[in-house]
Amino acid sequence: MQDGVDGRQTPAAPTFSVVVPVYNEGEGLLEFHGRLSRVMGALGEPWEVVYVNDGSRDDSLSVLEGLHSDDPACALVNLSRNFGKEIAMTAGLDHSRGAAVVIIDADLQDPPEVIPELVKAWRQGWDMAYAQRRVRAGESWLKRVTADAFYRTMQRVGRVRLPRNTGDFRLMSRRAVDALLQLREHHRFMKGLFAWVGFPSVAVPYDRAPRYAGRTSFNYWKLWNFALEGITSFTVMPLKVATYLGLATALVALVYGGQIILRTLLFGNPVPGYPSLMAVLLFLGGAQLMTLGVMGEYLGRVFNETKRRPLYLVERYAPSRPRPPLRAAPARRAHAEGESARY
């Protein structure tokens, strides 16, 4: 126990905090918590798990309330509505108290049994140990191919280097978490933010498992928007591409105009063809609209940041509690009372 600011006793911070964003994961939460508890209990140090309910529409909240009531290690952060996984992770990090913080999903695709390997790397002095996938079980070939293409693109054009085949499953030291929490932008691409803060980092290979229950909320449209979020958050390459496209279009138009002038001088002025005219107009119009769209993506993000709204609102926060001390066995307690009575 530690003395609080007002003089009251407050529970000491645990060694480990586990942050778990939850959205419609009610079917598998009990299995997840059971496996997580066995793994964290085997570490032999104080720990807590911070569940963040991100506006779930199933029975996730009631399951989490039951876990918080039954297990003192459980903390519950219930957001006022669905804010998205990236912000839910941020809310969990804001409410974590451990010297080392683990981020893991509740769908059991990232096995809790990998956490001891992350802890081992942390104890060796690494500030960030990220779990790197060797096998992506339960995912379609299209998702694997598009994910690989995204990581390749980000490594080539991004301002930070994202490790390939790496998600949010990782362990961070307290100083890495504190540095990360200084970044409060609304358009959050956490994989990029993890890389941006730097600090010594190491990969821990593991095999990703299929989902234990339920269905993922990430469809291809959401994944596409997620990729746009990452690209626009950490590179201005799309703006440069738009500039180069405009320059190339101007050069093509200049060459084409010169060719028309030359043909007119040599062969006269034939009647121009309607299809070629429409093709040129549609090409130029498409290039202009694409350029405006790229500029609009960046301008929209600037607009959202200038409003300076809070990242999230908490409907309810129930912190973890210190575990009760172990009581002496009845026979041993009676023996001790008898011994004291003799004196």
- Give residue for tokens 């957001």: 79
Q: Is 280 a domain residue?
A: yes
Mean pLDDT of 265-272: 63
Cα–Cα distance, 62 to 290 (Å, whole number): 46
* Same structural domain, 168 and 270: no
Residue 337 zone, left/alpha/beta (φ > 0; ψ -120 to 50; rest): alpha
What DSSP state is assigned to residue 36? H
> Is-contact 116 107, C-beta < 8 A?
no
Sign of CA dihedral 200, 111, 206, 85: negative
Residue 43 · residue 114 · CB < 8 Å: no
pTM reported for the whole predicted model: 0.69
50 and 157 inside one domain: yes
Residue type, 42: A
Query: Given a cut of 50, is residue 341 above it in pLDDT?
Result: no
Query: Once rounded to an integer, what is the mean pLDDT over residues 170-177?
Result: 92
Task: Confirm whether 45 is domain-assigned.
Answer: yes
Both 246 and 294 in a single domain?
yes
Is residue 24 predicted with pLDDT exceeding 70? yes
C-beta separation of 72 from 41 below 8 A: no
Task: Give the pLDDT of residue 294.
Answer: 75
CATH number assigned to the domain comprising residue 157: 3.90.550.10
User: Which residues, in sequence order, are bridge partners of residue 102?
Assistant: 18, 171
Residue type, 269: N
Q: Which residues of 139-160 are buried (b: 16+ CB within 10 A; e: fewer)?
A: beeeeeeebeebbebbeeebeb
- pLDDT for res 212: 54
My answer on whether 226 and 242 are in the same domain is no
What is the secondary structure of 243-277 as a DSSP string?
Answer: HHHHHHHHHHHHHHHHHHHHHHHHH--PPPPHHHH
Q: Determine which of 170-184, 245-259, 324-338 has the lowest per-residue pLDDT on average.
A: 324-338
Pick the closest to residue 173 from 98, 113, 111 (CA basis).
98
Percent of the chain with pLDDT over 90: 20
Residue 5 lies in a domain: no
**Residues 42 and 155 occupy one common structural domain:** yes
Q: Is the pLDDT of residue 53 over 90?
A: yes
- And the tokens for 246? 């405009």
Residues 182 and 283 placed together within one structural domain of the fold = no
Tell me: do 92 and 226 sit in the same domain.
yes
Same structural domain, 278 and 141: no
Whether 77 and 192 map to the same domain: the answer is yes
Q: Does residue 167 share a domain with residue 273?
A: no
Tell me how many degrees the CA angle 99-104-108 measures, rounded to the nearest 5.
145
Rg of the chain on CA atoms, in Å? 28
The domain in which residue 244 lies consists of: 237-306
Into how many domains does the chain fold?
2
Residues 263 and 140 in one domain: no
Give mean pLDDT, residues 82-109: 90
Same domain, 280 and 223: no
